[in-house]
Amino acid sequence: MIKWGIVGLGNMAHKFASSIKETNNAELIGVASLDSNRLKIFKENFNISDENAYDNYDNLISSKSIDAIYISTLNNTHLEIIKKSAENKKDILCEKSITLNYEDAKEAMSYIKKNNVNFYEAIAYRTHIQTKIIEEIINNNDIGEITRIDASFGYKSRVKPNSRIYNKELGGGAILDLGCYPMSFLNFLYDDKNDYKIINFKGSFASTDVDDYAKIEVFINNKINCNITVSIKEILDNRIYIKGTKGELTINNPWLPEKKSILDIKTGSSFYKKFVNSDKTIYANQIQKISEYFQKKINNDKYAVNISDSLHIMKNLTLWSNLIRNN
């Protein structure tokens, strides 16, 4: 049984605390928040004892009752909390994106490696059974050799200068908030051992100077054309289309798959649907799998975003961001 502590009590922390109840190998022990009102409400909602509800992060992270830390704070705080968690020999599940940029991600990796702790980034679709089924379809050559991938993730939000999503210093913008999803999918299929060439890009900026729309075209191994689009100012298609030499695969709900999801497969003149069933909700599945990895000391499973994956993803996100900003 992995005993968890949560640092930061925003929306994702509530989802984590609700979802952990579905698991059989994880238990929520302690929480920490700098906001006394949030701490009070969370403690009452999830039956956290007074001695395990902390008004500072350090005391939770150093607690001997905790095996693993779920970092659910703003992106600009991740690096320091990763450092302290690693130094206290806590395994880490960190909300996306891991840091604000590639240099910070490399520093985070150094703390994780130095202290020999396990780390995964909380991009939850990767631990869902749908990801493994997608891989099986591709490996079985059902659609042939992949030639093109189109992926998008976008929603419409109002410009709020004080909100995280529209504050550059807090990790706001479409690339950091949403780009990690499609970029992590490319990384799942083609890790850092593959050749990535950026051949086209464009973007736009909100009044607060965060990117509110971004598009990038990547050529992988000189043969696979990949197009990624993200936006916080408009709703996009929010699907993945994979074209192969023998057919096509459409992933209808790639980023937040539910217990029941559907894949569309076209081969020649034939069309059929693949039904995917999970026994847990997406976040419960993530906690179950990550807790299992922590128990078994597995730090590089491909069906979750490990530290090497995080580094490759953040390298590409930082490059993408710099390209549209300096264009």
Give the pLDDT confidence of 191-221 residue by residue, as tens digits. Answer: 888 999 999 999 999 999 999 999 999 999 9
Chain-centroid distance, C-alpha 68: 18
Alpha-carbon distance of 28 to 18, in angstroms, equals 10
Q: To the nearest whole number, what is the mean pLDDT of the chain?
A: 96
Bridge partner residues of 248 (DSSP)? 243, 266
Is residue 162 very low, low, confident or very high in pLDDT (cuts 50, 70, 90)? confident
User: And the tokens for 279?
Assistant: 């026994």
Burial of 172 (0-12, 13-18, 19+ CB in 10 A): buried
Average confidence (pLDDT) over 132-159: 96
Alpha-carbon distance of 314 to 150, in angstroms, equals 20
Task: Report the DSSP pairing between strands 91-95 and 211-220.
Answer: unpaired
Beta strands in 123-278 (DSSP E): 146-154, 196-205, 211-220, 224-231, 240-244, 247-251, 260-267, 270-277
Of 225, 206, 203, 232, nearest in space to 215 by CA: 203
* Contact in structure between 265 and 247 (CB atoms under 8 Å): yes
Using one digit for the tens of pLDDT, what is the confidence trace for 219-273?
999 999 999 999 999 999 999 999 999 999 999 999 999 999 999 999 988 999 9
Alpha-carbon distance of 82 to 98, in angstroms, equals 9
pLDDT at 156: 96
pLDDT at 269: 85
Average confidence (pLDDT) over 170-188: 97
Bridge partner residues of 224 (DSSP)? 220
Is residue 30 very low, low, confident or very high in pLDDT (cuts 50, 70, 90)? very high
What is the side-by-side strand order in the sheet with 26-32?
Answer: 53-54, 26-32, 2-7, 68-71, 91-95, 119-122, 305-306
pLDDT at 314: 97
User: Is the pLDDT assigned to residue 47 strictly greater than 90?
Assistant: yes
Average confidence (pLDDT) over 24-40: 97
Alpha-carbon distance of 63 to 43, in angstroms, equals 17
pTM above 0.85, yes or no: yes
Using one digit for the tens of pLDDT, what is the confidence trace for 112-140?
999 999 999 999 999 999 999 999 999 99
pLDDT at 268: 85
pLDDT at 80: 98
- DSSP labels for 31-81? EE-S-HHHHHHHHHHTT--GGGEESSHHHHHT-TT-SEEEE-S-GGGHHHH
* Contact in structure between 201 and 320 (CB atoms under 8 Å): yes
Domains recognised in the chain with CATH numbers: 2-125 (3.40.50.720), 128-280+301-326 (3.30.360.10)
User: And the tokens for 107?
Assistant: 């520093």
User: Is the pLDDT assigned to residue 300 strictly greater than 90?
Assistant: no
